[in-house]
Amino acid sequence: MYKREQYETLSNRLKEPRRFIQVLNGPRQVGKTTLIKQVSGELRAPFHFASADEEREADAIWIAQQWETARLKMKAGGHDEMILFIDEIQKVSDWSREVKKQWDKDSWEDVNIKAVLLGSASLLIQEGLTESLAGRFEMIPMPHWSLRACLEVVL
C-alpha cells in the first residue's frame, strides 16, 4: 500500500517520547485518516480514535470524554502510553482551549497520552493553534496529492 511522505514524519513522532501534539492539517479527502490507520496499524500501539464528524454537537465536554476514555483504556490495558486521534477537530466549538487543558493535565500528572489532531478547515485550525496551543504542537501539513505522488501510486 502506498504511503505518503507524511507517514514517516508521524510514525517517527509517535515513536519518540511525548513532546508535542501532532496536528495533521489539510483539505478533505487527501488521506489524513488513511495515514493514521497506516501508522497505528504498523506501530501496534494502543490507541483511541474519535471523530467529531460523527457528533451532532461536539463541544469541550466531548473532547474531555475522549481524553478520559483514552486514559481509562491505557490504565485498563496496563499500557505505558496511549495514542489519542481526534478527527475533524475544527468542528468542535472552543476545541483548542479544551485540548490545552487536557494536554497540560497529562503533562502535570505524567500521563503518556500522545495526541494527534486531524483537521480540514485551515483557518479554524490555525486560529485555535495560535490562540491556546502555542509551543505545544507540531504541524504536519497534508496537501493535495502531487502529480509525482499520483504517478508513484499508478506505476
Q: Which domain holds residue 95?
A: 20-113+123-154
**Number of domains composing the chain:** 1
CA distances from 155 to 2, 147, 152 (A): 11, 12, 5
pLDDT-derived band at 3 (thresholds 50, 70, 90) equals confident
Of 40-54, 58-72, 117-131, 132-146, the range with the highest mean pLDDT is 58-72
- At CA 34, angle to CA 78 and CA 80, rounded to 5? 15
pLDDT tens string 30-86: 788 888 899 988 888 899 999 998 777 788 999 999 999 999 999 999 999 999 999
Q: Tell me, yes or no, whether 108 lies in a domain.
A: yes
Give this prediction's pTM.
Answer: 0.85
Nearest by Cα to 52 from 84, 100, 21:
84
Q: Tell me, yes or no, whether 3 lies in a domain.
A: no
> CATH number of the domain that 88 lies in?
3.40.50.300
